[in-house]
């Protein structure tokens, strides 16, 4: 690994991967290489130790790549769910080879995966088919760049009559994923940044849908597919919260009433110490909406590790329906098996 590659891996591990996960990978090799692997230290110490271990051929570089890949693909993202209109579309989407050929040129496809690229603009990054052991599933991955400039200083120089304004520039690598899953649903996933807005999210969604459309050759997301409506899931989560108290805690809910008025009710915080319905006034308000004409259209829940039969390492907060009826938000970076658990539970509640 040359210094330039090492810098790229350091950046990616630092920005995309949790310290715990780097630590876990190091731990796997600790027993056989006690002198070379150090588990103590901060995140950067762990990253340096891991990359040293790669250079010494103790840890395979593919293990580091899998770590980055999984961290990019599970959690810390907005997920939008779609379903095909009919069986013919399902059949064509099941054919991943034809799908990728209709969207991405062979010359670009041959450079996949582009895990370590630093995008300056939109670019195709990877395609996997079959995906995660499901013969008809596939995953298409893209990168993009998002820039935020924040004014941090402004000075006026009387002698020269000049105003000097200093901006700090923050760049984020955006990860877009389009997945055709084993439930025959199309998922569009967009990674989160600390400077997202409803407008920027819509623009990302529009860009992805346009790219996979490929001037009519690829996926027609306007004609072929429809939003998956998660409002039944939201209401089931709310109504059945006491019988599912070991599985999740209810944290917040939004309602729309018959005159399209909105109400939002929330617990004190999102740590799960107190359920939304644990306080009498909140419980009465929720019941008033449910017994009246109000319909819940958004919910925040905390899936509990203690009630997951070991499938979750930590509690995970999930938002459903914040910006649309087909949207799920997972704030934390999670493991692939945790993602599977969350999606399975949401499907069960639907």
Partner 1 sequence: MSEEKLQNLAKEFPALSGVFEAVLEWFKTHPSTTAISMEIFYSNKFKFSREDINIAFILMQENLILTTIYRILDNDGSKIGKDFEDFNEIPDTVDTMWGEKKDTRDVLIVPYYKLLK
DSSP 306: G
Among 284, 300, 291, 298, smallest CA distance to 255 is for 298
Question: Considering the rule CB under 8 A, would residue 331 count as an interface residue with partner 1?
Answer: yes
Question: Considering the rule CB under 8 A, would residue 192 count as an interface residue with partner 1?
Answer: yes
Rank residues 114 and 192 by Cβ distance to partner 1 and give the closer one.
192
Q: Which of residues 109-168 bind partner 1 (CB under 8 A)?
A: 150
SS3 152: strand
How many angstroms separate the CA atoms of 214 and 235, rounded? 37
Rank residues 21 and 76 by Cβ distance to partner 1 and give the closer one.
76
Question: Considering the rule CB under 8 A, would residue 50 count as an interface residue with partner 1?
Answer: no
Q: Which of 83, 184, 229, 270 binds partner 1 (CB under 8 A)?
A: 270
Q: Which stretch binds partner 1 (CB under 8 A): 21-29, 129-137, 181-189, 322-330?
A: 322-330
CA dihedral (84, 89, 94, 95) positive or negative: negative
Rank residues 107 and 197 by Cβ distance to partner 1 and give the closer one.
197
- List the structure tokens of 131: 């995906």
How many angstroms separate the CA atoms of 318 and 251, rounded? 10
Q: Which of 251, 304, 316, 325 binds partner 1 (CB under 8 A)?
A: 251
Q: Which stretch binds partner 1 (CB under 8 A): 39-47, 127-135, 194-202, 206-214?
A: 194-202
How many angstroms separate the CA atoms of 149 and 168, rounded? 5
Burial class (CB in 10 A: 0-12, 13-18, 19+), 258: exposed
Burial class (CB in 10 A: 0-12, 13-18, 19+), 272: middle
Question: Considering the rule CB under 8 A, would residue 322 count as an interface residue with partner 1?
Answer: yes
User: For partner 1, how many residues bind (rule: CB under 8 A)?
Assistant: 25
Question: Considering the rule CB under 8 A, would residue 326 count as an interface residue with partner 1?
Answer: no
Residues in contact with 145: Cβ distance below 8 Å, sequence separation at least 6, in sequence order: 119, 120, 121, 171, 172, 173, 174
Q: Which of 62, 271, 306, 336 binds partner 1 (CB under 8 A)?
A: 271
Question: Considering the rule CB under 8 A, would residue 59 count as an interface residue with partner 1?
Answer: no
CB 283 within 8 A of CB 267: no
CB 56 within 8 A of CB 36: yes
Shortest separation between residue 252's beta carbon and partner 1, angstroms? 6
Shortest separation between residue 271's beta carbon and partner 1, angstroms? 6
Shortest separation between residue 7's beta carbon and partner 1, angstroms? 20
Among 275, 236, 280, 235, smallest CA distance to 252 is for 275
Q: Which stretch binds partner 1 (CB under 8 A): 22-30, 81-89, 193-201, 338-346?
A: 193-201
Q: Which of 258, 269, 309, 310 binds partner 1 (CB under 8 A)?
A: 269
Q: Which residue has the tokens 């597919």?
A: 225
Residues in contact with 35: Cβ distance below 8 Å, sequence separation at least 6, in sequence order: none
Shortest separation between residue 45's beta carbon and partner 1, angstroms? 17
Q: Which of 49, 221, 252, 326 binds partner 1 (CB under 8 A)?
A: 252
- Where do contacts with partner 1 occur on this chain (CB under 8 A)? 76, 78, 150, 192-196, 251-252, 266, 268-271, 274, 298, 300, 317, 319, 322, 329-332
């Amino acid at each position: 690994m040359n210094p330039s590659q090492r810098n790229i891996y350091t950046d990616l591990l630092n920005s995309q991967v949790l310290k715990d996960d780097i630590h876990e990978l190091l731990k796997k090799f600790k027993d056989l290489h006690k002198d070379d692997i150090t588990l103590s230290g901060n995140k950067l110490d762990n990253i340096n130790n891991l990359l040293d271990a790669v250079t010494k051929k103790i840890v395979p570089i593919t293990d580091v790549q899998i770590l980055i890949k999984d961290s990019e693909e599970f959690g810390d993202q907005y997920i939008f769910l779609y379903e095909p209109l009919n069986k013919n579309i399902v059949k064509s989407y099941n054919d991943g080879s034809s799908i990728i050929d209709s969207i991405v040129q062979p010359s670009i496809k041959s450079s996949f995966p582009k895990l370590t690229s630093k995008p300056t603009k939109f670019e195709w990054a990877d395609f996997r088919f079959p995906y995660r052991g499901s013969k008809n599933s596939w995953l298409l991955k893209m990168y993009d760049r998002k820039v935020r400039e924040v004014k941090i200083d402004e000075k006026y120089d009387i002698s020269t009559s000049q105003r000097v304004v200093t901006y700090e520039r923050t760049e984020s690598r955006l990860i877009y994923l389009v997945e055709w899953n084993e439930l025959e649903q199309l998922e569009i996933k967009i990674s989160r940044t600390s400077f997202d807005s409803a407008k920027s999210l819509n623009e990302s969604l529009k860009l992805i849908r346009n790219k996979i459309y490929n001037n009519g050759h690829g996926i027609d997301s306007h004609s072929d597919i429809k939003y998956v409506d998660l409002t039944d899931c939201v209401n089931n989560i709310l109504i059945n919260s006491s019988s599912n108290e070991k599985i999740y805690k209810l944290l917040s809910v939004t309602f729309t009433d018959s005159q399209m008025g909105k109400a939002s009710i929330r617990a004190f915080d999102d740590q799960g110490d107190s359920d939304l319905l644990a306080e009498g006034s909140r419980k009465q308000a929720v019941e008033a909406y449910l017994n009246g004409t109000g319909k819940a259209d958004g919910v925040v829940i905390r899936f509990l590790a203690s009630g997951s039969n070991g499938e979750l390492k930590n509690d995970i907060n999930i938002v459903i329906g914040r910006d649309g009826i087909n949207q799920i938000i997972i704030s934390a970076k999670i493991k692939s098996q945790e993602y599977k658990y969350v999606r399975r539970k949401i499907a069960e509640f639907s």
